[in-house]
Amino acid sequence: MHIWVITVGEPVPVDENHRDRLHRSGLLTRSLEKRGIRTTWWTSTFDHFRKKHLASDHSVIEAGPLLTIRMLHGCGYSTNISLARLRDHRQLAAHFSREAEKSDPPGVIISAWPTIELSAAAVQYGRRHGVPVILDMRDMWPDIFIESLPPGFRYPGRILLTKLFRDARRTCSAAIAITGITEAFVDWGVKKARRTRTLQDISFPMGYPKADFPADKIRAAESFWDGLGIYAGKGFVACFLGSFGRQLDVECLIGAARILKNRRQSVKFVLCGAGDYLERYRQMADDVPEVIFPGWIDAVTMHVLMRRSSVGLDPLPNRYDFLATINNKAIEYMSAGLPVISSPRHGVLHDLLKRNDCGAGYASGNAEELAALLSTLSDAPDQLKTWSRNAAALFEETFVAEKVYDRMSAYLEGFATSAHP
């Protein structure tokens, strides 16, 4: 049995800096390998997070006894929202179409959405070779392109992207099944395919691995945070783990920090990650010493920070695709028993936090409301303890990577067995 997984924009285990920070596809391939299933992971040589290539040409990496990583080389891009990124995706799809023909067909293909171009190339390959193709919905492309435009530009934008919308509809229609990170994402993909939902259209949440780090690495991470004045059990710490780009409202976090500083309330904001807007945010917070930017950190350093923090911040915009998601950031926080403070005060994630009593929400972009919420929580240790227990319990019940991706692997194995009994 052989399964292909197609994804770009995720950390790959060939890079030492990302070896222990795998996301959905990386964790899925590990699960498939554990089940004794030969897996090929098609991805890109381009590191989406650090905006650099990991190789100068197409590469084939034997990453395990049953795992092959096929890295395709595109032009790359310097910013996430750009014509260069679209050109890179088209190049990767063309390279996949050529390279895939040199390989024996798998039993099933699962392709992450986005990208539209690679998913389209996957279903075209599937048609030619009689291979079932499943689309895994993780973002609502191309709809979000229009949603991000000012209202007056949305109609002409929709006209300009007519081909992309048509390709999206045709590709979804050709898939044998739709999966997604939430029920809302599955429903969106099925609607895009213009059909009714079937029992094969299933949601699998984002899974996150349980912490399991060597003692020496834990000690090194503890020393790192000690050096930055982030101590265990001392003070109120709000952490953010993610990328600094246009999507997430980090400016609101800095605004809340400034408000609390002016009120002489001691709350530290530790904002970790990299991205296009990092320097802009650093300059914005230059007069707020309570805001700390440690840069990109590895998984063990991230885990120790979460264990030393009081809450995790998830500043999502009030946009329908974000309202439909439970993102990896929130699940990371729950993995460490960290209460989640998210925006906006509605949507799938907010409902989950409210239903399980493990966090709270604030209105997107409202720094005053966020500051007031954090101020209240800094004097509510019992509330934080309750939320922490509930967050850990919810993670264990719903989001443990080993459980999520074992179910997803069994699902894919069923398709592969049916296609090639």
Residue 75 confidence (pLDDT): 95
Mean pLDDT of 353-360: 98
The CATH number covering residue 266 comes to 3.40.50.2000
* pLDDT above 60 (res 17): no
Cα 113 to Cα 134: distance, rounded to the nearest angstrom:
10
Cα distance between residue 64 and residue 26, in whole Å: 12
Tell how many helices (H) and how many strands (E) occur in the chain.
17, 16
Same domain (yes/no): 69, 201: yes
Question: Cβ(115)–Cβ(8) under 8 Å?
Answer: yes
Q: What is the pLDDT of residue 149?
A: 79
Band (81; pLDDT cuts 50, 70, 90)? confident
Burial call 284-320: b when 16+ CB within 10 Å, e when fewer: bbeebebbbbbebbbbbbbbbbbbbbbbbbbbbbebe
Residue written as token pair 């890295």: 71
Q: So what's the pLDDT on residue 146?
A: 81
Q: If you average pLDDT over residues 280-288, what whole number do you get?
A: 97
Identify whether residues 247 and 186 lie together within a single domain: no
CA atoms within 13 A on the CB side of 322: 20
Considering the domain architecture, whether residues 394 and 409 belong to the same structural domain is answered as no
For residues 295 and 338, membership in a common domain is answered with yes
End-to-end CA distance of the chain: 10
Distance CA 104, CA 91 (A): 22
Q: Give tens-digit pLDDT for 206-243.
A: 999 998 999 999 999 999 999 999 999 899 999 999 98
Strand 2-6 relative to strand 67-72: parallel, antiparallel, unpaired?
A: unpaired
What is the pLDDT, as a whole number, of residue 388? 98
Same domain, 136 and 242: no
Give residue 250's domain range.
215-399
Domain check: are 82 and 164 in the same one? yes
The answer to which of 134-148, 195-209, 257-271, 303-317 has the lowest mean pLDDT is: 134-148
Give the model's confidence band at 369: pLDDT under 50 very low, under 70 low, under 90 confident, else very high.
very high
From the centroid of its chain, how far is CA 25?
Answer: 10
pLDDT class for 15, splitting at 50, 70, 90? low
Pair 181, 7: CB distance under 8 Å = no
pTM summary value? 0.91
- Ramachandran angles phi, psi of 147, nearest 5°: -60, -30
170/283 same-domain check? no
User: Where do we find the tokens 């972009």?
Assistant: 365
Has residue 159 got a pLDDT over 90? no
Same domain for 365 and 242, yes or no, is: yes
Report the distance separating Cα 411 and Cα 421, nearest Å: 15
Number of compact structural domains in the chain: 2
CA distance 21 to 26: 9
In the predicted model, what is the mean pLDDT of residues 53-80?
Answer: 93
109 and 168 in a common domain? yes
- The pLDDT of residue 419 is 62
Residue 312 and residue 240 in contact, taking contact as beta carbons nearer than 8 Å: yes
Closest CA to 299 of 209, 401, 205: 209
Beta-sheet pairing, 67-72 with 59-62? antiparallel
- Which runs of consecutive H residues, i.e. helices, occur in 271-380? 278-284, 299-308, 320-323, 328-335, 348-356, 367-377
Whether residue 405 sits in one domain with residue 395:
no
349 and 307 share a domain?
Answer: yes
Q: Which of 155-164, 260-269, 273-282 has the lowest mean pLDDT?
A: 155-164
Residues 252 and 305 in one domain: yes
CA distance linking residue 232 with residue 226, whole number of Å: 9
- What confidence score (pLDDT) does residue 421 get? 53
| C-alpha to C-alpha distance for 69 and 14, rounded to whole angstroms | 9
Higher-pLDDT residue of 162 and 101 is 101
The reported pLDDT for the residue numbered 230 is: 97
